[in-house]
Amino acid sequence: MSRLDETFEALGPDDKAMGLFLTDGFPNPDATVPLLHAIDRGGADFIELGMPFSDPLAEGRPIQRASAQALSHDVTLVDTLHTVEAFREDSDTPLLLMGYVNPVFKYGVDGFCRDAAKAGVDGLILPDLPPQESDALCDAAAAHGLDLVFLIAPNTSDDRIRVVDQRATGFVYAVSVTGLTGSDLAETPSVEEYLMHAEDLVDRNPLLVGFGIKTHDDAMELSRHTDGFIVGSALINHVAALWESPEQSVPDRLAEVEAFARHLKSGAPAPAPQPRPAQG
């Protein structure tokens, strides 16, 4: 049983798994590992670490900007594996890499899966990998003990949802909107009907929902018909705002990120904004 399987197995009947996404190298390479530990302390059941890429086609502006910022620091795929190694020194929380197939193919599929597993990665999420073209990655991931997550969306056919459920390991990622990360949930009024339908079709894997979740209330509303939820853009925006606030110390910023994660998970009060010091 994988670390991810054990995490889902340990959840109580009314618990919802929370996955949080952070781009490697954002807001700068030195901040990523401390941030990962902050969201870990805040209650993340698993973490998605974004592999910076120049054309993140599923992402909205916050994660696009985070990826561009990481690339401006020359963060590479090898650097991301080193980030995982550093995180693994102090945590057993499941960690998945999320990104796009081009860098993985360039690295070499089997070599990438081997090195990712050696670094401590638990699984992969590659939004632009079609299930029907995933044989090589499925085989390499399985050979090295990695879960491989696939995505569905409101416009995914029933037959394709069943194929995704057969191919996926770890969980099935239900995109809440036919759009990009950070999209407005109000733009998809039938999201509950879609998730209820997906819940009926996905029977081999846990079903998690993501895209557009900004608050604990959003998370609880959307995850009524899923086993958990994933938050990315809201966390990225929160981190960006904190690191643009020069009057705050790094420990204070990390404490606020931890509190934000705890709010998403349990509804605990989010930290109040810190007043700016008087000028003059």
Catalytic residue numbers?
A: 48, 59
DSSP states of 206-255 as a string?
-EEEESS--SHHHHHHHGGGSSEEEE-HHHHHHHHHHHT-TTS-HHHHHH
**Residues 6+ away with beta carbon under 8 Å from 78:** none
DSSP alpha helices (H): ranges in the chain? 3-10, 29-41, 61-72, 77-88, 101-107, 109-119, 135-143, 158-167, 191-201, 216-222, 233-243, 250-266
List beta partners, residue 17.
Answer: 228
Contact 94, 3 (CB under 8 A): yes
- Exposure string of 2-36, with b = 16+ CB inside 10 Å and e = fewer, is ebbbebbeeeeeeebbbbbbbbbbbbebebbbebb
Instruction: Report how far apart, in Å, the C-alpha atoms of 179 and of each of 14, 153, 196, 231 are.
Output: 29, 9, 19, 15
Antiparallel, parallel or unpaired: β 147-152 and 172-175: parallel
Q: Which amino acid is at 41?
A: R
Q: Which residues contact 77 (CB under 8 A, 6 or more apart)?
A: 51, 103, 104, 107, 112
Residue 77 carries which side chain, given as an amino acid letter? L
Distance, CA of 184 to chain centre: 18
Nearest to 231 by CA among 239, 26, 149, 141: 239
